[in-house]
Amino acid sequence: MAKYIARRLLIAIPLLLLISIIVFLLMRAAPYDAIDAMTTPKMSEETIAAIKAQYGYDQPVWVQYFAWLGGLLQGNFGYSIVTKSSIAEQLAVRIPNTILLVLPSYLVAYVTAIVLGLVAGSHRGSRLDHVIDGIASVLIAVPSFWLAMLLIFVFGYLLRALPIVGMQTVGDGSFVDVLRHYILPFVTLTIAFLPDNLRYVRSSTITQITQDYVMVQEAFGAKRAEIMFRHVCRNVLGPVLTRLGMALPMLVTGAIITETIFSWPGVGPYFMTAIKGMDYPIVMAILILSSTLVIIGNLLADVLNALADPRIRQGGAR
């Protein structure tokens, strides 16, 4: 198992390098570059050349790439072109805010999805199943920005019950205040994460329940509950567990739209502002971060899967 993880980590290194090259080259290929952002057409040629030299843009591309990569490896993500502030410092504040929002809502959605999915799947075709599956089908079609607007309209405008912007009222950092700001984006995200997981658990439960081993267990006198909890659940939860690993990048980029709508001071608005302002170093930093998390998340998913399933565990050991 340790050997398997080590091998997977080694494979991840060239993959990450490749991603960094692609991200870097794509940003270089974009029509508007960092120099354009820092200079104005009125500036003289000499001034522009001086700025280029100051930021190292007069060097060959590969030198620039390695300088950037070297910085990344030391945890230096560079500086915003627009605000000149350190990206690493900004992210250090914003990522925890995003995690504070995404992690609880994802976990609530995940656990709810497992419970409802197992209930619906094991009562396939019943009224209960139709209701649960119907709700999931409707929710999967609801865009989260629309839902966010609807919640803002109802709870913020009509009822005036909850604040709709930010994480806290200026000058009031109390727990209750943060909680009141927390509710709407939390509900939006929970509903956004729920239907996909729910449908996955339901269909995977149905697949398992129609497997031969379920009938065999029945033929050997197992109770329905025994079959559900000892056999079906474990077989369903293996693949569902791997989704948890795959969800890792969500911690950074899982709520960009929702955060932006509610002006939650997380990664979302930061990323959106950077894209609109062509603040390339920020865009690159977040892209690198989220693709790294995708790779780690996949590795985590595979490890979880191997732990849950002896067929994969032993296949990997050989």
Partner 1 sequence: MADTQQAPAGDLLRVRNLRTTFHAHRSLVKAVRGVDLTVREGDFLAVVGESGSGKSVTMKSVMGLMPDNADVEADELTFCGRDMLAMSDEERRRMRGGEIAMIFQDPMTSLDPLRTIGKHLREVLKRHRGLTGAAADTEAVRVLGQVGIPSPEQRLSQYPHEFSGGMRQRVLIAMALCCQPKLLIADEPTTALDVTIQAQILDLLRRLRDEAGMSVVLISHDLGVVANVCNRVAVMYGGVIMETGTVDDIFLRPRHPYTRALLGAVPNPADRRHGRLVSIPGSAPSLVDPPDGCPFADRCTYTCDRCRQAMPAFIAYEGEQTARCVFTADELDRMDRTRRPAEDAASHDAKGDAR
- Residues in touch with partner 1 (CB under 8 A): 211-213, 215-223, 230-231, 234-235, 238, 308-311, 314
| Other Cβ atoms within 10 Å of 294 Cβ, number | 16
**Smallest distance from the beta carbon of 212 to partner 1, in angstroms?**
4
**Smallest distance from the beta carbon of 222 to partner 1, in angstroms?**
7
**Smallest distance from the beta carbon of 240 to partner 1, in angstroms?**
13
| Closest by Cα among 150, 148, 151, 167 to 258 | 148
**Smallest distance from the beta carbon of 238 to partner 1, in angstroms?**
7
Between the alpha carbon of residue 287 and those of residues 19, 166, 253, 277, 279, the distances in Å are: 9, 24, 9, 16, 13
Distance CA 141, CA 134 (A): 11
Distance CA 246, CA 215 (A): 32
DSSP state at residue 157: I
Distance CA 158, CA 260 (A): 21
HEC-encoded secondary structure of 229-277:
HHHHHHHHHHHHHHHHHHCCCHHHHCCHHHHHHCCCCCHHHHHHHHHHC
> CB-wise, 141 or 225, nearer to partner 1?
225
> CB-wise, 103 or 241, nearer to partner 1?
241
**Smallest distance from the beta carbon of 8 to partner 1, in angstroms?**
22
> CB-wise, 54 or 314, nearer to partner 1?
314
> CB-wise, 38 or 222, nearer to partner 1?
222
**Smallest distance from the beta carbon of 314 to partner 1, in angstroms?**
8
Placement of tokens 């029509």 in the chain: 31
> CB-wise, 208 or 291, nearer to partner 1?
208
> CB-wise, 235 or 258, nearer to partner 1?
235
